[in-house]
Structure formats: C-alpha cells, structure tokens
C-alpha cells in the first residue's frame, strides 16, 4: 500500500494541474470580455468548453475518488491545509458526481441556451418567452437537490453552494430584523425635505479622464499593479488568473462617471482579497475567497465604507474636479459626497443605493425560497415580484424588463446566489465595527489616504485565510461573535440619518 | 473492425482538441507578452508548460499511433484533406516519438536554461559563458538527427523541420547565385556618391501617433480587425489564436518610427496569410502556414514590395507628415522613400536593409552547415563568424554581442531555421514576378491604395491552401516553375540601381 505522503503528493499535483487549466480558462474568458475579435468568439467558446469539460473530468475522475478515499482515511496524518483541501475536493466531487452525467449535460445545454433566450425576453420585455426555460431549469435544480440531499428547507442545498453553513433559518432571522429597520428608514428619507443636489452627476465626464482616475484610485487603495491590471469591458468583473494576477475590469459611461469610479473601487475590494491570500495555498483549491458572500464583503467594504466615506471625498474630490472641471464648477466636496450617497427607491438592483440594495436582495430571496418550497408557480412569478416591490420599496415595475427579467442569474441556474450579496454587506459591517476598535482613527485614516492599516486588518482577518475557513468561522474568529445584523443596521441608520434627517 | 469513417472521426476530434489546447496556450503566451503583470509570470510559464506537455502527449499517444496506422492503411478511402492531415500528424508523431523521452526532457530543460545564459552572455558580450551550453545543444541535435535519419547532408534533417523538401543541395545553389550578384552590388552602393538624406529619420515621433498610423495601415492593407487586434509588446510577433483571431503586435520607438511602421506592415503580411486560410481546414493541423519560409514570403511581400514601394509613399507620405509634422517639415515623399530604403552593410541582422539582409542569412547558413558536418568546433565559431562578416559585408564585429551572440535562435536549439528567412524572400520575389503578369498595373494599384487585387492573388495562390501543400508545391503551382533565385536578384538589382547608381 502506498504511503499517505505518496497520495498527498499526487493529490496536490492534480489540484495544481486543475489550477493551471483554470488559469487557461480564465485568461481566455478575460480576453473574450476585454477585446477579443468577434470572429474568434465561437472558436473561443468551444475551447473554453473543452478545457472546462477536462477540468470537470479531473475533478470527478475515478483517480480523484481513490485519492480522496485514501486521504480521508488517514486524515489525522495530513497537514492542516491538505485536510481542508481534501474536504473541499470531496464536496466538489460529490456535488458533481451525484448528478447523472447525461442529465448534467442536458442541463448545461439548457442553461447556455437559456441565457440568450433570457436576453431576448428582456429586450422585448416578454416573460412568456423565458418562462418555459425557467420552468425546466427549476425542475432540474429540484432534482439536483434531491440527489444532493438537504436538511430542513430544500433551498438550503442551494444556499450551501455559495455560502457554506448558511441556512434558511439563519437568513429568515437576519432579513426580518434588517427589513424592520430599513423599510421605515427608507420611508422617512422619502418624506424628508432635505434632498441632495444631483444636477451635476450626469454631465459629460471624458472617458480618458475616468480611466486615469480609476488607475489612480486603485493605486491609492493598495491594489498591486504588478499583480494585476485594469481593462475596459461591458459588464465589469474581477477575475483571478493566478495568485500573481488578479485583474479588474470596468465600464466607462461618459454621462455617469459613478459606474466606473465606484465600480472600480468595488472590484478593487475583490482584487485586494485575491492578491493577499496566503501564497502557501497557491495551486490548491483553497487559493480563493472563502465564499461569494465573504468576497462581496470585501468589495462592499471598499466601495461603500471607503469609497462613499465623507473623508474619502474630502481628500480626493479635487481629483474628480481636475478630471472634469466644467462639470464640477462650484460643487463642494460636501455636496459631491451627498450626491454620490443619494438614496431613493428604484427598480433596478444593480443601480440601487447602499440603503435600498438589501431590499432588492430580500425580494429575490423570498421568491427563490417560495419556488423551491413549491409555493409559487413560474407563471405567477411576475405578479409576486411586482407585489413585493410595491410592499418593500413602494414602487411597481412598469414591465417585466424592469422587473422579474432584470437579472441574468436564473437563466444560468444560479438560485441561492442572491442572498450572498446581502450577507456580504452584513459581514462587511460587522468587520468594520470590529476594525473600529482596533483602528479608532479609521475615519481619519481615510481622510489622510492611509489605507495600509485598513488593508492589513482585512488581510490578517480575512484575505490570508483563502478558503481554509468557512464564512461563519472567519466571522467568528475576526469578530468574536456569530453573524449579527445589528452592525449593518446601525451603520445605515447613522449614515442616512446624518445625510437626510 | 471499425470502419475508416469511425477512425477518421476520432482522429479529427483529436486534432480539434489539440487545436483548442493550442488556442489556450497562444492566448496565454500573447497575454504574457502584451501586458500580463510581472508577479504572474512564473505561474503563467508553468501553466503553458503543463498544457504544452498535454499537447505533446496527445500528439505522441498510443491512441494517436493506432489512429494513424489504421488511417494510413486505408488512405485511398479518405478525403484529400484528411490524407494530408494524417501525413502531417504522422510526421510530427515520428519526429517526437523517435527521441527517447528522458533525453527529450533533458533537452527541454537545457534549452530553457540556455536562453537565460545566452541573454547574460550577450549582455556581457562573453561567448565563453554561452559556449558550454551551445556545445551541449549541438550534441543533442546531432543525436536527434541520427534518430530521425536523413538523406545527403545531416543538416538536411534540420532544414526539413522548417522548410519541408528544401535541402543543402538546393540552398547551396541558390545562395551561391544570390551571393555572386549581391556582394558586388553592395560594394557598388558603398562606393556610390549618391546617398539618401536620413537626417529626419531619428527625430521624435510621438508614440500615440505611431499607434494610430499602424492601425491605419493595417486597415488599408486589408487586415480584418474583426478577426484580430493590434497590441504593443517588446519583441514584436504575429500570433494566431484561432481561425477567427490572428493578432499583430508591434513596438513603438519614439526615436525611430521605422520599427513600428515597417514592423507592423511585416506582421500584417503574416496575419493576412492566417486570416485567409480555407475555413474548411479549421481545427486541423493544416490550418496554418505551409512553412516558416512561405510565411516569411508573405510578411516580406507586404513589408518590402508594398511598404517600401515608391507608390506607397506617394500615396501615404501625407499621413506620416500629419502624424509628426515638425519632423518631416520640408521632406518630400521621394526623399522619404529614399530614406526608408537606405542600404549599407551593418552588423545586426534584424536591423539590416532589404539588400544586405540575405548576406546575414547566408553567413548563418554556412556556419550551421559547418557545425553539423563537423567542420568547425564551438570554440572556433566567433572567429569564423567574424571572418564571414568581413568577407561578405566588409565589416568586422567589435565584440561577440554584436557578432555571434546577437540571435536567440541557437539557445533554443533552432538550427535550420535561418535559411527560411532568405527562402521566404526568394518565394516572395518569384510570386511577385508572376503576380505582375496577372496584375500588370501592380505599381499603379499600390499608388492608388487598391490592395484588394494583390491580397486576392496571394490568397488564391498561397493563403487558402494552408498546410495542404508543401512550400515547393505551392511555388510550382503558383508560378509554374521550381524555386528560382533570379527573380529576387532582378528585383534587387533594379531597385537598388534606381536608388543608388
């Protein structure tokens, strides 16, 4: 029989090979989204498909199973990181291997077709085009849930894909507390006579100046340009190519500079996370963020707690003014800060402000939960969607394009994903509260442009661990308590009372 | 027993998979050379190494051998393209599988180390640093030649790697005829009092304007930007990612615009070749240029016969002038044309002009031939190099950096590669002579900026075939005769007599 060391070595080599294939896939994807020529698109999709299939094969191979079995048996003799890597690979193996291969192929074909159907449906604002696909995707997902198994609510199986350890029970409690505080606050703000002047926001801001600003802010915030780059795209994203290469993309809108400036600061948070994961984890399946939600906690921390902080604009408003002097003639840093923190109910999630954003998430959470408990049929979804927007935000979508068809997620079968956006926000606020104890001069640091201590705190408590720890373990270790939504509520109440009331 | 169709299908699928891996490798390589961050370099090299090893494995696998044997047996029942693809894959299989695996690995490690040693040796202009590596590389190559087998001169085995069908016998005849005409012409030009004014060449030409010009010329010449893109790099190259994606790179030197302008036109010729290969060959091993030399014939055709044509600058000199008005104040199109066609003996191959360039190649050819016939030892190479420069060009390198250490090729074991540069030039001149019969208004077409008929002629006679035909078959079919160096000689004599005598 081979020694545990031999198995460990082979296992780690296999993980490394997988990570190298993922590097290839990610470069090809990044390239496709940042300027690859049109005529190469189909060849590119096919090549990505081939390499993805090869990765799937490696992750679910007989040899992988043998290695995982052998290593699991001798778990106590393995180094800590290898134990965690085995757990992670095993989870992945089971998720993938429990679904019959033919069924998975059919599902993959369905979702890749569904995305273009969804696009068409959104363009013509016609839910009936998309609903037959959505119905089939939901049926697949329901079967997958039975293959995987679950405890409590069937939706838990989907939540676990994105936020291991988080359940319907946890979310119901957190969201209900959050809703009770936010809904009245949103109402009070709507009634407040004190509104920011936003007349200068949508004036022309030259693209080239936006690009320079984005580079500037990334560098200021501690993004390492020797381990990444910034490029233009249509739908911005952060992508990690390798442990030495965490890239940021952004979109420049000349009549709304906010998308590039705040979008870049958001992706910067993701990228700084990736740039500061322990290098010892390189080439393993632990060299990534702990979860979708923890990742989002970092991007939201940078975007909102730093990028929308009054001290940040006290320091940097002159840069904005320099970049587009006509637009900001006569505008003060204070007025700018108020304008970029405007809050009002809106229909589109991705355009929502900090305060109303969680409500968009809750609506999606409640609808997804209802879908998987079988309480709502697909045909009734638009009605349910619109009712919830009226109840939580006081507005009703005029059509499905601005309502239930706005997000791409469901067309790709990504149910259970939305809650991570709100969880990320809660994590971020709880981390911030604890950081304030260690760094009482937090506000002053931001006003001074001294981001290094803030980055270091986040690295020490979050980034460095990669996927060694589960999301709730990270929170517990970093903050000494379970996830607690009060931190987010206090933050929002304080900020928006100051701004509006 | 399986039918020939079943084998053919599997064989073509395997070729397609290989082409998809090559797409991944090429995107990763392109990215590494056009802006990937420094800290990702090592991870990138490892990933490229892994995927290259997987491609090697697919090309030399037991299954590949079985497929090739089965298909070769029933060759007559296969479509023509599949027959050619089988031949090509077989050639590759044999080249790779004849070398013992351990020996090949050792060789790969040696050459990857040798490149950095060569760089160091070049920097310090010290051949003795590099010579032990060169000696080992030559020993490996000599053994490889015995594994592969050869007819006539052992160097033929190396020539065949880059220019199938071309031998020492052919090259000796061609080069001797070429030398007899060029050497005296170079001498006459050196003695001529009629010299171009080149005083404006090295003045400041802003990089951004160079970039715009390069885009402009690519578009004018018929490069398809929907199937490619132009990027900046250090050592320019053309790279094909997929049949819909043939990219060009260039380097901008603000004190010498020629490197970007003529370099881009050169790479444009390579890219137009790749963009116009028959799509029916996509995903096979025939969807590439026929050989290194045929590829070079296309890049040299564009660079020299179009880009250095007097009519080209009659038409486009105003663009150059617009882009850098101060630099070209008072300069005429005619003076510009003369300046960019200056000819004089020089030490560095890649900076050589059209006329003296073939002499640089002949020197390398003669030295390589002497190495593989055992007529010269590694330690005597610098002396031999310097003697030949004195004999052919009338100048002696002051040191090894400007002499024998100038080219990277040998450090990578690329012996037999240099002659393709000169062959490409001969192919190009012979094609041009035949094109002139079909397109007697060639000069006028260039002056009118009508490149479409020229491109179409090259596509019909060269590009479309991809690797379906061998280099000399392409020449025979396109021009009705064997390779004939007289066309190049006439072209050079006519052009340089007009310019200088």
Residue pLDDT, tens place only, B419-433 = 999 999 999 999 999
* B31, B47, B245 ranked by CB distance to A40: nearest: B245
Cβ–Cβ of B39/A282 closer than 8 Å?
A: no
Is the pLDDT at B112 greater than 90, yes or no? Answer: no
Is the pLDDT at A1 greater than 80, yes or no? Answer: no
Residue A47 has a pLDDT of 94
Residue B101 has a pLDDT of 85
CB proximity A219 to B under 8 Å:
no
Residue B2 has a pLDDT of 65
User: Cβ(A226)–Cβ(B39) under 8 Å?
Assistant: yes
Centre a 10 Å sphere on the Cβ of residue A380 and count the other Cβ atoms it contains. 11
> Which residues in chain A touch residue B37, judged by CB atoms under 8 angstroms apart?
225-229, 244-245
| Residue A256 structure tokens | 């709304």
Phi first, then psi: give them for residue A239, nearest 5 degrees. Answer: -140, 140
> Which residues in chain B touch residue A50, judged by CB atoms under 8 angstroms apart?
17, 20-21
Contacts of B272 (CB under 8 A, 6+ apart): B221, B222, B223, B298, B302, B455, B458, B463
Tell which residue, A27, A28, A64, A26, has the closest CA to residue A43: A28
User: Cβ(B406)–Cβ(B192) under 8 Å?
Assistant: no
Cβ–Cβ of B27/A23 closer than 8 Å?
A: no
What integer is the mean pLDDT of B159-166?
94
What integer is the mean pLDDT of A40-51?
93
Is the pLDDT at B444 greater than 60, yes or no? Answer: yes
CB proximity A51 to B under 8 Å:
yes
Burial class (CB in 10 A: 0-12, 13-18, 19+), B396: middle
Residue A2 has a pLDDT of 65
User: Closest approach of chain B CAs to the CA of A44, in angstroms?
Assistant: 8
Residue A248 has a pLDDT of 98
Sorting pLDDT into bands at 50, 70 and 90, what band is A185? very high
The per-residue pLDDT for range B382-404, each reduced to its tens digit, is 999 999 999 999 999 999 999 99
The per-residue pLDDT for range B447-493, each reduced to its tens digit, is 999 999 999 999 999 999 999 999 999 999 999 999 999 999 999 99
User: How far apart, in Å, are the Cα atoms of B237 and each of A325, A497, B30?
Assistant: 42, 59, 9
User: How far apart, in Å, are the Cα atoms of B480 and each of A187, A418, B474, B485?
Assistant: 86, 68, 10, 14
What integer is the mean pLDDT of B29-40?
95
Residue B486 has a pLDDT of 98
Tell which residue, A315, A221, A213, has the closest CA to residue A273: A221
CB proximity B376 to A under 8 Å:
no
Catalytic entry in A267, A296, A303, A368: A267
Residue A105 has a pLDDT of 87
Residue B105 has a pLDDT of 87
Residue B1 has a pLDDT of 56
Cβ–Cβ of B242/A25 closer than 8 Å?
A: no
Residue A371 has a pLDDT of 98
Is the pLDDT at A294 greater than 70, yes or no? Answer: yes
Catalytic entry in B267, B288, B296, B366: B267
Residues linked to residue B247 through DSSP beta bridges, in sequence order: B239
Residues in chain B: 501
Q: Strand A245-250 and strand B245-250: pairing?
A: unpaired
> Which residues in chain B touch residue A218, judged by CB atoms under 8 angstroms apart?
none
The per-residue pLDDT for range A310-329, each reduced to its tens digit, is 999 999 999 999 999 999 99
Tell which residue, B375, B398, B372, has the closest CA to residue B157: B372
User: Cβ(B94)–Cβ(B287) under 8 Å?
Assistant: no
The terminus-to-terminus CA distance of chain A in angstroms comes to: 72
User: Cβ(A324)–Cβ(A308) under 8 Å?
Assistant: no
* A20, A50, A227 ranked by CB distance to B39: nearest: A227
| Residue A146 structure tokens | 């039975």
CB proximity B39 to A under 8 Å:
yes
Which strands make up the sheet holding B238-242, listed edge to edge? B230-232, B245-250, B238-242
Centre a 10 Å sphere on the Cβ of residue B480 and count the other Cβ atoms it contains. 8
What integer is the mean pLDDT of A426-454?
98
Sorting pLDDT into bands at 50, 70 and 90, what band is A237? very high
Distance CA A263, CA A213 (A): 12
Cβ–Cβ of B226/A39 closer than 8 Å?
A: yes
| CB pairs < 8 Å spanning A and B | 115
Nearest chain B residue to A225, by CA: B37
Burial class (CB in 10 A: 0-12, 13-18, 19+), B252: buried
Burial class (CB in 10 A: 0-12, 13-18, 19+), A370: middle
Burial class (CB in 10 A: 0-12, 13-18, 19+), A403: buried
The per-residue pLDDT for range B278-320, each reduced to its tens digit, is 999 999 999 999 999 999 999 999 999 999 999 999 999 999 9
Centre a 10 Å sphere on the Cβ of residue B482 and count the other Cβ atoms it contains. 10
Residues linked to residue A248 through DSSP beta bridges, in sequence order: A230, A238
CB proximity A40 to B under 8 Å:
yes
What integer is the mean pLDDT of B31-48?
94
The per-residue pLDDT for range A455-482, each reduced to its tens digit, is 999 999 999 999 999 999 999 999 999 9
User: Closest approach of chain A CAs to the CA of B231, in angstroms?
Assistant: 11
Cβ–Cβ of B23/A28 closer than 8 Å?
A: yes
Q: Where are the domains of chain A?
A: 4-97, 207-345+440-470
* A35, A40, A282 ranked by CB distance to B242: nearest: A40
What integer is the mean pLDDT of B127-136?
97
What integer is the mean pLDDT of A400-413?
96
Phi first, then psi: give them for residue A231, nearest 5 degrees. Answer: -135, 165
CB proximity B112 to A under 8 Å:
no
CB proximity A272 to B under 8 Å:
no
Compute the Cα dihedral for A480, A484, A486, A491 and give only its sign: positive
Whether A120 is a known active-site residue: answer: no
Which strands make up the sheet holding A245-250, listed edge to edge? A230-232, A245-250, A238-242
Averaged pLDDT score across all residues of chain B: 96
CB proximity A232 to B under 8 Å:
no
Sorting pLDDT into bands at 50, 70 and 90, what band is B133? very high
| Residue B445 structure tokens | 């077409």
> Which residues in chain B touch residue A31, judged by CB atoms under 8 angstroms apart?
27, 31
What integer is the mean pLDDT of A210-234?
97
Residue A101 has a pLDDT of 85
What integer is the mean pLDDT of A180-191?
94
Dihedral angle, C-alpha A371, A374, A378, A380, nearest 10 °: -100
CA atoms within 13 A on the CB side of B351: 8
* A25, A37, A241 ranked by CB distance to B229: nearest: A37
Q: Is A232 helix (H, G, I), strand (E, B) or coil?
A: strand
Distance CA B310, CA B308 (A): 6
Q: Is A284 helix (H, G, I), strand (E, B) or coil?
A: coil
Residue A167 has a pLDDT of 96
Centre a 10 Å sphere on the Cβ of residue B195 and count the other Cβ atoms it contains. 14
> Which residues in chain B touch residue A41, judged by CB atoms under 8 angstroms apart?
244
Which of B19, B208, B244, B277 should we substitute to test contact with A (largest number of A Cβ atoms within 10 Å)?
A: B244
Residues linked to residue B246 through DSSP beta bridges, in sequence order: B240
User: Closest approach of chain A CAs to the CA of B18, in angstroms?
Assistant: 10
User: Cβ(B429)–Cβ(B417) under 8 Å?
Assistant: no
Cβ–Cβ of B244/A28 closer than 8 Å?
A: no
Tell which residue, B171, B183, B487, has the closest CA to residue B355: B183
CB proximity B90 to A under 8 Å:
no
Sorting pLDDT into bands at 50, 70 and 90, what band is B3? confident
Is the pLDDT at B71 greater than 90, yes or no? Answer: yes
Q: Is A231 helix (H, G, I), strand (E, B) or coil?
A: strand
């Amino acid at each position: 029989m081979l020694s545990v060391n031999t198995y460990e070595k082979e296992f780690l080599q296999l993980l490394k090979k997988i990570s190298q294939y993922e590097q290839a896939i990610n470069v090809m994807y990044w390239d496709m989204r940042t300027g690859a020529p049109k005529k190469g698109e189909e060849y590119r999709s096919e090549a990505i498909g081939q390499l993805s299939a090869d990765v799937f094969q490696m992750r679910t191979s007989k040899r992988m199973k043998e290695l995982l079995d052998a290593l699991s048996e001798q778990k106590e003799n393995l180094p800590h990181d290898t134990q965690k890597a085995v757990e992670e690979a095993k989870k992945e193996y089971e998720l993938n291997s429990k679904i019959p291969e033919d069924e998975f192929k059919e599902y993959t074909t369905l979702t890749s077709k569904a995305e273009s159907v969804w696009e068409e449906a959104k363009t013509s604002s016609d839910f009936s085009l998309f609903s037959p696909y959505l119905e089939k995707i939901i049926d697949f997902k329901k079967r997958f849930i039975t293959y995987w198994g679950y405890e409590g609510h069937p939706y838990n199986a989907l939540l676990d894909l994105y936020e291991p350890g988080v359940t319907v029970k946890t979310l119901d409690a957190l969201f209900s507390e959050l809703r009770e505080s936010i809904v009245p606050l949103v109402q009070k703000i709507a009634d407040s006579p004190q509104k920011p002047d936003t007349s200068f926001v949508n004036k022309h801001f030259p693209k080239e100046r936006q690009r320079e600003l984005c580079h500037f802010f990334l560098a200021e915030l501690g993004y390492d340009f020797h381990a990444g780059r910034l490029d233009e795209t249509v739908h911005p994203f952060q992508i990690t190519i390798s442990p030495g290469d965490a890239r940021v993309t952004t979109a420049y809108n000349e009549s709304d500079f906010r998308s590039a400036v705040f979008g870049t600061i958001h992706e910067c948070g993701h990228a700084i996370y990736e740039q500061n994961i322990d290098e010892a984890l390189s080439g393993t399946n632990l060299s990534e963020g702990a979860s979708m939600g923890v990742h989002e906690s970092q991007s939201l921390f940078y975007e909102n707690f730093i990028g929308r902080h009054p001290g940040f604009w006290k320091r940097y408003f002159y840069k904005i003014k320099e970049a587009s002097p006509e637009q900001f003639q006569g505008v003060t840093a204070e007025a700018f800060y108020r304008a970029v923190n405007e809050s009002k109910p809106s229909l589109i999630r991705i355009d929502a402000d900090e305060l109303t954003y969680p409500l968009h998430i809750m609506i999606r959470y409640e609808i997804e939960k209802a879908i998987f408990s079988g309480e709502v049929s697909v045909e009734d979804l638009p009605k349910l969607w619109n009712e919830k927007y009226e109840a939580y935000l006081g507005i009703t979508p005029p059509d499905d394009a601005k309502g239930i068809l706005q997000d791409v997620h469901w067309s790709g079968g990504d149910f259970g994903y939305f809650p991570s956006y709100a969880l990320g926000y809660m994590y971020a606020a709880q981390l911030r509260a604890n950081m304030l104890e260690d760094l009482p001069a937090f506000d002053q640091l931001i006003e001074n442009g001294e981001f290094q201590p803030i980055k270091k705190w986040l690295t020490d408590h979050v980034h460095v661990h990669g996927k060694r720890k589960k999301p709730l373990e990270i929170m517990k270790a970093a903050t000494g308590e379970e996830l607690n939504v009060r931190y987010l509520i206090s933050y929002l109440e304080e900020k928006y009372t100051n701004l509006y009331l």
